[in-house]
Amino acid sequence: MDRLFTVPAATAALTAALVLSPLTPARGDAALSPRHGTAPVAATAESEAKTTEAPPFARVYLALRGCTSCSHCRSTIRGMVKGSAGEGETRVDGDRVEVRYATPRAVPLGDVVRTLAENRLHDLSLVDVLFEARGTLATQPDGSARFTLWDTGQVFRLAVAPHVERPLDGRPVRVTAVVGGWREKGDLRLEAKEIKAGV
């Protein structure tokens, strides 16, 4: 069995960051009413509309272990990932790398993952990978699922465990999946952790 699925702490941390961090930015206190000390409803709604960031079309999260604290290492990591990410925007935050694709386009998932999985930096290793994207699902004759990215036609085979709720085929969905297969340097495979309808 792929050792990826024996690292629940890393996967849980990445999932929390993927689901929560980019979507819940802190809201300042500038809108507080000086008289009552609470934000007026209109000001609150306007502030939330400005600060809530819509999720991108797709993104890849990569958890790292090793030297990520110094600016030189972070710059090197960012440069490596940026070179393989195509039109994706690369962010390095401590021991986590995020590649965002704001609008529909092909995602070079294999290139991004292997760039870090096969890096030659001293004391740096890839621990876990999550992939999130918008698209549609279709059931194959063998019972497996095919996940097609929205507007691009890029296809991934997706394993969906019985406990994961799955909308009907053909409906727009946002899939969050663990990426496996890269440890053996073989074909990548996706295992769904969450499937949201209509996102």
Whether pLDDT at 59 is above 80: yes
Helix (H) or strand (E) holding 125: strand 124-139
C-alpha dihedral over 14, 19, 25, 31, to 10 degrees?
-150
Is residue 79, in this structure, part of any structural domain at all? yes
User: What pLDDT does 198 receive?
Assistant: 82
Is residue 34, in this structure, part of any structural domain at all? no
Gyration radius of the chain's alpha carbons = 19
- CA-nearest of 124, 30, 141 to 73 is 124
Q: Say which amino acid occupies 110.
A: G
Percent of the chain with pLDDT over 90: 57
Range of 186's domain? 7-15+55-197
Q: Say which amino acid occupies 128.
A: D
- CA-nearest of 79, 169, 68, 173 to 122 is 68
Is residue 48, in this structure, part of any structural domain at all? no
Whether pLDDT at 25 is above 80: no
Tens digit of each residue's pLDDT (9 = 90 or more) over 169-182: 999 999 999 999 99
Is residue 171, in this structure, part of any structural domain at all? yes
Q: Which of 4-18, 96-110, 147-161 has the lowest mean pLDDT?
A: 4-18
Coil, strand or helix: which one is 193?
strand
The CATH number given to whatever domain includes residue 85 is 2.40.50.140
pLDDT band at 52 (very low <50, low <70, confident <90, very high): low
Is residue 36, in this structure, part of any structural domain at all? no
User: What pLDDT does 74 receive?
Assistant: 86
User: What pLDDT does 166 receive?
Assistant: 92
Exposed e or buried b per residue across 95-131, where buried means at least 16 C-beta atoms within 10 angstroms of its C-beta = bbbbbbbeebbebbbeebbbbbeebeeeebebbbbbb
Tens digit of each residue's pLDDT (9 = 90 or more) over 108-152: 999 999 999 998 887 889 999 999 999 999 999 988 899 999 999
User: What pLDDT does 143 receive?
Assistant: 83
Look up the pTM and report it: 0.74
Is residue 22, in this structure, part of any structural domain at all? no
User: What pLDDT does 83 receive?
Assistant: 93
Number of domains in the chain: 1
User: What pLDDT does 101 receive?
Assistant: 98
Higher pLDDT, 71 or 87: 87
Is residue 132, in this structure, part of any structural domain at all? yes
User: What pLDDT does 79 receive?
Assistant: 92
Residue whose tokens read 């709720």: 165
C-alpha dihedral over 40, 44, 45, 49, to 10 degrees?
160
- 8 A C-beta contact, residue 192 and residue 175: yes
Mean pLDDT of the chain: 80
Is residue 187, in this structure, part of any structural domain at all? yes
